């Protein structure tokens, strides 16, 4: 590639920040205000709606303003010992080291833990990590985790600093230990000076944790819903990103993109990525380029969608094929007859499973639609359900 060749200005798959972060100005402002106020927040959104990118953008801005932010991904902490390791490492790196410049002072805050950690200092960058050996008494592990969870609030209060603790993939808390939510909630409710931000990729589990009155976290956090990005906000972003790289995109092409993605953040970035790639340098993208870009998207997603299809039951495949052709009400006799669906009980079971997998969503009035980006288009172009079921 020549040095002067522009690079694709659209990003999907990775976190979006800086110039690739799209709109969300209202949500960003609200989230930053919540964190500064010490308000606990749980962010609900379908998969790939940009939850993590929004939090990343918000916390980066807040860190520059002096807020202390630590973040732990519970998907990487399958045991309480691993959770303790991640907590200690993050608290040291993001909070203690910023409050105490001397290494010994920053490490001293971890003295007195029920289990003494192994502390490792990387010779290359002097970063510090903590280890907690497995096999200790459960009560000692719980006491250690409890103490670590309490530390961010204590450290922030001592120096008059705002603190945020971000817990990603929070639905995994139950898998780590069914009793861990009780322990966490007992600590967190005594930390009004700490904003706890909860993210999760499995909405049905997150809703159970925060909306079931029998759960410790019931009504414990502000519920923050992310939706799609409105076309009138997304359209200028798309045009500006094309223009910044010496290409153009006409209004009809932008409309074609947004008609296909309905403002879904990930899907829009993905389709724009492929559309930009097939648009020649110094030329203008048209709806024909969007069609070619969509074909590229479907080739790229083919392996993923094939697995989705293989994992679906026979009834789920029939319902997916019907909804791909016509979003609507699969329970009605007319719809069912038109698409040759199985008996209503089978359709109900299929829809329940598809909704739980977040492939399909209810849109009101008993209607359903496919919400997994591009899955409906892939089904229409790739699958012959009658032939598939005859095998």
Q: Among 358, 327, 355, 321, which residue's Cα sits nearest to residue 340?
A: 321
DSSP classification of residue 297: H
Average pLDDT value for the chain: 91
Instruction: List the alpha helices (DSSP H) in 91-127.
Output: 97-99, 103-108
Alpha carbon distance, N-terminus to C-terminus of the chain: 47
Mean pLDDT of 323-327: 96
Q: Is residue 131 helix, strand or coil? A: strand
What's the confidence (pLDDT) of residue 71? 96
Rounded-to-integer distance, Cα 214 and Cα 375, Å = 36
Of 381, 278, 270, nearest in space to 325 by CA: 381
Residue 62, pLDDT > 50, answer yes
How far is it, in rounded angstroms, from Cα 251 to Cα 362? 31
* pLDDT class of 391 with cuts at 50, 70, 90: very low
Predicted confidence at residue 43, as pLDDT, reads 92
Residue with tokens 């203690």: 96
Indicate if the pLDDT at residue 387 is higher than 70. Answer: no
Query: Of 46-55, 175-184, 294-303, where does mean pLDDT reach its minimum?
Result: 46-55
Residue with tokens 């791909």: 324
Mean pLDDT of 292-321: 96
Q: What is the mean pLDDT of residues 284-312?
A: 97
Identify the band that residue 101 occupies on the pLDDT scale cut at 50, 70 and 90: confident
| pLDDT of 17 | 47
Q: Provide the pLDDT for residue 45.
A: 77
206 burial type by CB count under 10 A (0-12 exposed, 13-18 middle, 19+ buried): buried
195, 162 contact by CB (below 8 A): yes
- Sign (positive/negative) of CA torsion 214, 217, 219, 225? negative
| Domains, in order of start, for the chain | 24-225 (3.40.50.300), 231-305 (1.10.8), 312-390 (1.10.10.10)
For the segment 2-33, what is each residue's pLDDT rounded down to a tens digit?
A: 556 789 999 887 554 455 555 678 889 999 99
**Burial annotation 69-98 (CB, 10 A radius, 16+ → b, else e):** bbbbbbeebeebbbbbbbbbbbbbebbbbb
The C-alpha angle with vertex 21 and arms to 73 and 288, in degrees rounded to 5, equals: 120
The per-residue pLDDT for range 185-214, each reduced to its tens digit, is: 999 999 988 999 999 888 889 999 999 999
pLDDT for res 226: 80
- Residue 326 pLDDT more than 90? yes
Q: Indicate whether 390 pLDDT > 50.
A: no
pLDDT of 240 strictly over 80: yes
């Amino acid at each position: 590639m020549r040095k002067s060749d522009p690079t694709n200005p659209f990003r999907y798959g990775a976190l979006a920040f800086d110039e690739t972060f799209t709109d969300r100005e209202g949500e960003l402002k609200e989230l930053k205000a919540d964190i500064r106020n010490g308000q606990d927040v749980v962010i609900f959104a379908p998969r790939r709606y940009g939850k993590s990118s929004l939090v990343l953008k918000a916390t980066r801005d807040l860190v520059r303003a002096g807020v202390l932010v630590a973040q732990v991904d519970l998907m990487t902490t399958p045991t309480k010992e691993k959770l303790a390791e991640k907590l200690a490492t993050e608290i040291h790196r993001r909070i203690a080291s910023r409050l105490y410049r001397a290494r010994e002072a920053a490490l001293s805050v971890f003295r007195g833990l029920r289990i003494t950690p192994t502390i490792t200092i990387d010779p290359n960058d002097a970063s510090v990590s903590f280890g907690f050996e497995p096999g200790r008494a459960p009560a000692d592990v719980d006491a250690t985790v409890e103490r670590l969870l309490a530390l961010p609030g204590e450290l922030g209060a001592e120096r008059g600093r705002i603190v945020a603790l971000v817990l990603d993939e929070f639905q995994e808390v139950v898998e780590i230990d069914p009793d861990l939510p009780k322990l966490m909630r007992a600590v967190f409710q005594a930390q009004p000076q700490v904003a706890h931000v909860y993210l999760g990729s499995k909405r049905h589990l997150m809703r159970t944790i925060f909306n079931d009155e029998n759960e410790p976290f019931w009504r414990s956090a502000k519920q923050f819903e992310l939706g799609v990005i409105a076309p009138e906000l997304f359209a200028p972003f798309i045009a500006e990103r094309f223009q910044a790289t010496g290409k153009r995109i006409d209004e009809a092409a932008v409309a074609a993109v947004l008609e296909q993605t309905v403002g879904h953040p990930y899907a829009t970035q993905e389709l724009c990525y492929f559309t930009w790639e097939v648009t020649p340098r110094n030329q203008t993208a048209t709806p024909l380029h969007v069609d070619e870009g969509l074909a590229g998207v479907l080739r790229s997603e083919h392996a993923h969608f094939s697995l989705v299809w293989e994992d679906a039951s026979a009834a789920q495949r029939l319902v997916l094929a019907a909804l791909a052709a016509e979003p609507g009400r699969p329970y009605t006799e007319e719809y069912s007859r038109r698409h040759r669906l199985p008996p209503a009980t089978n359709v109900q079971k299929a829809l329940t499973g598809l909704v739980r997998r977040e492939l399909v969503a209810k849109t009101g009035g008993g209607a359903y639609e496919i919400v997994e980006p591009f899955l409906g288009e892939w089904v229409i172009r790739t699958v012959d359900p009658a032939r598939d079921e005859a095998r």
